[in-house]
Amino acid sequence: DGGITQSPKYLFRKEGQNVTLSCEQNLNHDAMYWYRQDPGQGLRLIYYSQIVNDFQKGDIAEGYSVSREKKESFPLTVTSAQKNPTAFYLCASSIRWGLTGKFFGPGTRLTVL
């Protein structure tokens, strides 16, 4: 089955530690995205990648980093510089970058203790 997987589903980390969230897709999509969801707010774009080996900052990129070495994979690292890292993180992909419909993963809930 084609789709997007994110792992793990729940993640706990101590304050000051970097943590990497996994996102894999087998849909052969060029574009991939990372969103953050906080209670009562819409999804906010952290980073996006239009194509392999390329990525761009979204609205709230500070304290995060990404890589796109393979078309299928777009891992997100939450660094210790991110002031409020506890949130729900959603990965998405689309056939091409822009306003095309997005396919989402199931999300990872990160809690920093």
Return the number of the residue (45 or 61) whose C-beta is nearest another protein.
45
Interface residue with another protein, options 19, 21, 49, 105 (CB under 8 A): 105
- Cα 4 to chain centroid distance, Å, stands at 11
What number of other Cβ atoms are within 10 A of residue 25's Cβ?
Answer: 22
**Of residues 41, 83, 84, 113, which one binds another protein by CB under 8 A?**
41
Q: How many H helices and E strands in the chain?
A: 0, 11
User: Is residue 63 within 8 Å of 44, Cβ to Cβ?
Assistant: no
Q: Decide: is 42 part of the binding site for another protein (CB under 8 A).
A: yes
**Chain positions contacting another protein, by CB under 8 A:** 3-4, 35, 40-45, 90, 97-99, 101-107
